[in-house]
Every structure is written in structure tokens, then in C-alpha cells.
């Protein structure tokens, strides 16, 4: 009889424990008593594909997860689990990382952020993709939900979060790895209307390289708006541009000259976009530098972030001018011309940049001078290829606009005659 009771007890005790565990997870409430069970729970869910249950538990306990065991944290942000969650359209990992009380105590914060951001870039759908498409186009049918918008505002559009989590790193690393793999060399150097399309659904809307570039731009827009002068690795965009340029080829026998200097291949499109991004970020920095609370501003000065944007914009176009036959000359001339047009507008037609009709317009000469100083610094290491492009661009400036001719006259007084076409 005793033996039978012992046998029954041996059977019932594990069963009761299992039932208790099931009730615990059914309630989805983590306590100090059951928190140690989170790691085996995650292992089981990953093995059996029960990811909906993981999301339910994590969502319900989001304010209790700051003290979870290190093993559970490691598993929670492991590439395999993050990938499975993202594929199932669950972005709970990014939601957790958006919470200061959760992310600050993490021992491997940078690794967790890197794993999550990389998977978001590689996914067919993610808040990053929705934010990029909403801002830059590429998929007319994609909806940017309120939840995605709030999540982006708490992370990539939050300069403090972006800076403290080093979130720029997985963006640039994913982009560089995509380029250096060589897998894009052939398709991205051939004309592809579906990649550069402005209507319908374009290929770039799911291109990790494009998404990485534009996510950085979104983050930097928030930095400029916040007038935050910390180091946000603005050079990332320049480094990506240089790496793309190394892998870019142009053959007039294969790629027809583009109409109006428009890019036709994915790589030429991306190079043009990065140059445009620098221009638009600089323009925004100029506008922000004009204090709205000043009724009659007299001057506007670039801050550290503004100067850095100008520096890498200039270095970008200088890189694109460095070799013949990597870009269609018409496209290259258009990219370079925009830099000088912007410089001249700063000095002689500020309304081109500020759009302040009916308001007092400040002097932007200090901004103009920064653009010239960076350009002049590049001129110290000019090659014949640079001179050839400059001559071509200067000959085709829009002389019908007075600020262009005035600006060019000023520029010729500062340049060595060899840089001025005859």
C-alpha cells in the first residue's frame, strides 16, 4: 500500500508541477518565483514554433523584464529567435529595446541592438521599411501604422536612443556587407526600372542596402531637428557611398545615357540618393539654424552637425569625380552642379533655401563660406579627373539665374585659374 502511494506520488508531483507551470504561463505573469522558468520557456517556444505565446508573455510583462536572468536575455536577443519573431511580424524585441528601464541594465546592449536591427533590415516587412517608404516612397500600397510610427519615434527618431544604443553600427555594417559580398555587382550595374520606379511597388522598398541608408537619414533628420551636436557618425553615409562607388561600373554600350541625367541602375540611383540626402540634411540644418523666435534675424551660423554634413557632402561629390567611366557624365555633372547651386544660393538667393516669403531673411554667408572651405580643401588634392568634371559643370551652369552668375563670379576670384574653364 505504501509502495503504491509512493508510486502515485512520484507520478502526481511532476504532473502537478507541470499543471502549475501551465497555469503560470496561461496567466502570462512573471514573478520572482517563476522568472527562472523564462529561459526554458523561450527554448521550448523556439523549438516548437510557439512564437505567439512568447509575444503574449513578453508584452504582458514588459515592465517586469529589467531583471530577467542573463541566459534568458541572451536567448531573447539571439539571431535565431529574433529572426523567427520578425518573420512572424512580431517586433517585440525592438519594443523592449525602446524602453530605457529595460535597455540600460543590459550587459550586451550593443549586441542585442545589432541583432535586432540587422534582422529588421533583412525582413520583407518591418517598421524600418514602413518608415522609409512613408518618407521616401517606393511602395504606394504599404501602410505606416500608428504603432510602427510610435516605435520609430521612440528609437531611430530619438537621438538619445540612437546615440546610446550605437544603432548606426548595424545599419552601416549591414550595408557594407551587402556591397562587399559582390552579389549585387552584376544586377546593380544594369538598368532596372523596377528598382528606381516612383510609382507602384519598387524593388528598393525591400532592399536592405537602401533601407539601411534611408534609416540613417531618418535618424540624422531627427538629430538635425533636435540641434544635437554629439557625434552621430554622419560619415557612415559617406563610407557607404565610397563602397558603392568602388563596385560601380558604367558602360555606354550597355547602359544607355539617362534622360535629363537621371540614374538608371540601382547603384547609380543609390549614389545619387546619398548625395541628395546630404543636400537635404544640410538644407534642413540651415533652416533650423535660423531661430524662429527671432523676429529679424541678421545672420545664421552652422553648428558642429551642420559643418559635418557639409564636409561629408563635399567629400562625397569629390569621390564621385575621382574616376572616369564609373558614372554617366550627365548624372555626375548634375550631382556636382547641385553643390555649387546650393553654395551660390546661400550667398545670393537665400529664399531658394529658406522659403521665407514676407519675412526678414538672414545672411547665410557663413554657411556659404563653409561650403567653399570644404571644397577648397578638396582642391588641394585634385587630379585631372576632378578638373575635367569641374570644367564641364562650370560651362553648363544655369546662367539665366542671377544668383548663379553672381556666385560664379565670386568663386572665380577664389580659385586657381586652372580650375576655371576657358
Domain final position from 105, 120, 135: 120
Examine residue 46 and state whether it is found in any structural domain, yes or no. Answer: yes
The count of structural domains within the chain is 2
Instruction: Write out pLDDT tens, residues 35-76.
Output: 777 778 878 877 777 777 777 777 777 666 667 777 777 788
Examine residue 14 and state whether it is found in any structural domain, yes or no. Answer: no
How confident is the model at residue 7, as a pLDDT? Answer: 57
Q: Residues 353-379: what's their mean pLDDT?
A: 83
Domain final position from 120, 153, 182: 120
How confident is the model at residue 271, as a pLDDT? Answer: 98
How confident is the model at residue 53, as a pLDDT? Answer: 76
Q: What is the DSSP string of 196-220?
A: H-SSSB-GGGG-HHHHHHHHHHHHH
Distance from C-alpha of 38 to C-alpha of 282, rounded to nearest angstrom = 48
In the chain, how many H helices and how many E strands?
22, 0
pLDDT confidence tier of residue 292, bands split at 50, 70 and 90: low
Say if residue 26's pLDDT is above 60: no
Looking at the structure, tell me whether residues 410 and 286 fall in a common domain: yes
Examine residue 209 and state whether it is found in any structural domain, yes or no. Answer: no
Domain final position from 92, 120, 148: 120
Looking at the structure, tell me whether residues 409 and 270 fall in a common domain: yes
How confident is the model at residue 17, as a pLDDT? Answer: 45
Looking at the structure, tell me whether residues 248 and 377 fall in a common domain: yes
Say if residue 21's pLDDT is above 70: no
Assign 158 to helix, strand or coil.
coil
Looking at the structure, tell me whether residues 264 and 390 fall in a common domain: yes
Examine residue 83 and state whether it is found in any structural domain, yes or no. Answer: yes
Examine residue 77 and state whether it is found in any structural domain, yes or no. Answer: yes
What percent of the chain has a predicted confidence (pLDDT) above 90? 60
Instruction: Write out pLDDT tens, residues 261-271.
Output: 689 999 999 99
Examine residue 136 and state whether it is found in any structural domain, yes or no. Answer: no
Q: Output b/e per residue, 78-88; b: 16+ Cβ within 10 A.
A: beebbbbbbee
Say if residue 330's pLDDT is above 80: yes
Distance from C-alpha of 82 to C-alpha of 90, rounded to nearest angstrom = 9
How confident is the model at residue 359, as a pLDDT? Answer: 58
Q: Which domain holds residue 64?
A: 21-120
Instruction: Write out pLDDT tens, residues 189-217.
Output: 999 999 999 889 999 999 999 999 999 99
Please, which residues bridge with residue 363 across strands? 299
Amino acid at each position: 500500500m505504501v509502495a503504491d502511494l509512493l508510486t502515485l506520488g512520484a507520478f502526481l508531483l511532476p504532473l502537478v508541477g507541470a499543471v502549475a507551470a501551465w497555469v503560470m504561463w496561461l496567466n502570462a505573469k512573471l514573478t520572482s518565483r517563476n522568472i527562472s522558468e523564462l529561459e526554458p520557456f523561450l527554448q521550448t517556444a523556439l523549438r516548437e514554433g510557439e512564437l505567439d505565446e512568447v509575444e503574449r508573455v513578453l508584452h504582458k510583462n514588459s515592465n517586469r523584464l529589467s531583471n530577467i536572468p542573463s541566459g534568458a536575455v541572451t536567448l531573447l536577443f539571439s539571431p535565431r529567435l529574433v529572426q523567427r519573431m520578425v518573420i512572424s511580424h512580431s517586433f517585440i524585441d525592438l519594443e523592449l529595446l525602446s524602453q530605457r528601464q529595460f535597455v540600460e541594465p543590459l550587459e550586451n546592449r550593443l549586441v542585442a541592438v545589432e541583432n535586432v536591427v540587422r534582422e529588421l533590415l533583412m525582413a520583407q516587412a518591418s517598421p524600418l521599411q514602413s518608415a522609409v517608404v512613408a518618407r521616401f516612397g517606393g511602395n504606394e500600397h504599404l501602410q505606416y501604422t500608428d504603432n510602427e510610427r510610435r516605435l520609430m519615434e521612440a528609437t531611430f527618431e530619438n537621438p538619445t536612443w540612437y546615440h546610446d544604443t550605437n544603432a548606426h553600427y548595424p545599419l552601416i555594417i549591414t550595408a557594407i556587407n551587402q556591397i562587399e559580398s559582390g552579389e549585387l555587382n552584376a544586377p546593380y550595374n544594369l538598368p532596372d526600372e523596377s528598382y528606381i520606379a516612383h510609382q507602384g511597388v519598387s524593388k528598393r522598398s525591400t532592399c536592405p542596402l537602401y533601407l539601411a541608408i534611408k534609416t540613417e537619414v531618418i535618424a540624422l533628420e531627427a538629430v538635425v531637428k533636435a540641434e544635437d551636436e554629439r557625434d552621430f557618425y554622419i560619415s557612415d553615409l559617406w563610407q557607404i557611398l565610397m563602397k558603392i562607388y568602388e563596385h560601380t561600373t558604367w558602360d555606354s554600350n550597355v547602359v544607355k545615357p539617362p534622360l535629363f541625367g537621371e540614374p538608371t541602375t540601382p547603384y547609380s540611383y543609390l549614389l545619387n540618393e546619398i548625395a541628395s540626402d546630404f543636400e537635404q540634411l544640410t538644407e534642413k540644418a540651415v533652416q533650423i539654424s535660423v531661430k524662429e523666435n527671432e523676429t529679424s534675424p541678421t545672420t545664421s551660423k552652422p553648428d558642429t552637425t551642420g559643418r559635418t554634413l557639409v564636409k561629408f557632402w563635399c567629400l562625397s561629390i569629390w569621390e564621385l569625380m575621382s574616376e572616369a567611366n564609373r558614372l554617366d557624365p550627365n548624372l555626375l555633372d548634375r550631382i556636382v552642379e547641385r553643390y555649387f547651386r546650393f553654395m551660390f544660393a546661400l550667398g545670393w538667393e537665400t529664399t531658394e533655401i529658406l522659403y521665407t516669403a514676407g519675412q526678414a531673411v538672414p545672411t547665410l554667408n557663413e554657411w556659404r563660406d563653409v561650403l567653399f572651405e570644404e571644397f577648397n580643401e578638396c582642391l588641394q588634392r585634385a587630379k585631372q579627373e576632378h578638373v575635367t568634371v569641374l570644367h564641364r559643370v562650370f560651362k553648363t551652369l544655369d546662367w539665366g539665374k542671377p544668383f548663379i552668375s553672381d556666385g560664379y563670379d565670386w568663386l572665380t576670384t577664389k580659385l586657381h585659374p586652372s580650375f576655371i574653364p576657358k
